[in-house]
Amino acid sequence: MSWFDRLKRGLGKTRDVLATEGVSVENPWEMDWDDLEFALIGADVGAHIASEVVIEARKERERGRSFAESLEKALLDQLEPDRIRQKLRRVGFSLDVSRNMVEFAGKVIMVVGVNGVGKTTTIAKLAQYYRSYGKSIMFAAGDTFRAAATAQLEEWGHRLDVPTITGPDGSDPAAVAFDAAQARRARGVDLLIVDTAGRLHTKHNLMEELKKVKRVIGKADEGEPKEVWLVIDAVTGQNGLEQARRFNQAVGVTGVIVTKLDGSAKGGILLPIARELGLPIKFIGVGERPDDLQPYDAAAFVHALLDLPVEAA
């Protein structure tokens, strides 16, 4: 099964929410715009953005586009406004399945997110992804408050032959991050991925701890981490948006990874992340397999969501 087919399958529950309200691009009849707005809210797009999508889709419909083209254009304008101005997508576009590597700035990626979103597994998948491009990888097990998290990352490191810097259970996570950053520099490793604790994002102490981790990495390796990636579980829906706001305020998020799209009817959460927060979505995950975490592509996402035809490039 191709990546696009897995993405389409993963978005099945979200697509079902839209279909419940009669949102089907195959229907020849005119869509009721109120039903469309309600369906988008049900998919966790959010009331404000759902209204914007409907307004834009109606304008495109009045210009003579089909309902499918109108909705596709309106969704893409929210997800990738700059790119869409340069190059409009169309129904039946050819999807280039060969992807260039998702670039990262600097040498350190600090991965943040609340417990349960799949940070550690995502880190392992990122390592596999970047190793496929010939990058050398190191891990830092910075979630020292959960012995299971350290053990899990160490196990992944063993499986992938990735060195893992750890500390004693309950030790200072900033000290682990400092040692790992120094080790990366000394060994000349291309990329250090730092796991972090993820207790409730509403806890003030967690955010202060993450700020400290970020500061000490910079002391060990000047200018790092240039990347702070937030992992969000799609099942959390709008709560994920609030998580993104808080983490962004605390540590300056540079990218978002959305996981578990295969288990959620709330895939629309990608729209407010991209639109309201202006944070780039780096990867999306639609399953447990290593290659089920893939670079985010707005056009592929919209086509999978609306079940539009795609021709292999």
Number of domains forming the structure of the chain:
2
Instruction: For residues 120 and 69, state if they share a domain.
Output: no
With respect to residue 100, please indicate whether it lies within any of the assigned structural domains: no
Q: In the chain, where do the E strands start and end?
A: 94-95, 108-112, 137-141, 164-165, 191-195, 227-233, 255-259, 281-285, 293-295, 311-312
pLDDT of residue 18: 67
Instruction: For residues 165 and 237, state if they share a domain.
Output: yes
Domain extent, residue 139, equals 108-297
With respect to residue 101, please indicate whether it lies within any of the assigned structural domains: no
How many C-beta atoms lie closer than 10 Å to residue 238's C-beta? 14
Q: What is the CATH number of the domain that holds 52?
A: 1.20.120.140
Query: What global pTM score does this model have?
Result: 0.81
Instruction: For residues 132 and 270, state if they share a domain.
Output: yes
Instruction: For residues 284 and 152, state if they share a domain.
Output: yes
pLDDT of residue 239: 75
Q: What is the CATH number of the domain that holds 279?
A: 3.40.50.300
Phi and psi for 249 in degrees, rounded to 5?
-65, -35
Instruction: For residues 288 and 153, state if they share a domain.
Output: yes
Nearest to 255 by CA among 225, 289, 220, 223: 225
- 192-243 pLDDT per residue, tens: 999 998 765 445 588 899 999 999 999 999 999 999 999 988 877 677 778 8
Instruction: For residues 152 and 290, state if they share a domain.
Output: yes
With respect to residue 99, please indicate whether it lies within any of the assigned structural domains: no
Side by side, the strands of the sheet bearing 255-259 are: 164-165, 137-141, 191-195, 108-112, 227-233, 255-259, 281-285, 293-295
Instruction: For residues 122 and 68, state if they share a domain.
Output: no
pLDDT of residue 39: 77
With respect to residue 103, please indicate whether it lies within any of the assigned structural domains: no
With respect to residue 74, please indicate whether it lies within any of the assigned structural domains: yes
Instruction: For residues 42 and 120, state if they share a domain.
Output: no
Below-50 pLDDT ranges, the chain: 28-29, 83-95, 97, 201-202, 312-313
pLDDT of residue 11: 76
d(CA 50, CA 32): 14
Q: Which helix (H) or strand (E) holds 119?
A: helix 119-131
d(CA 104, CA 165): 21
pLDDT of residue 211: 94
pLDDT of residue 112: 95
With respect to residue 81, please indicate whether it lies within any of the assigned structural domains: yes
d(CA 96, CA 99): 7
pLDDT of residue 95: 47
pLDDT of residue 108: 98
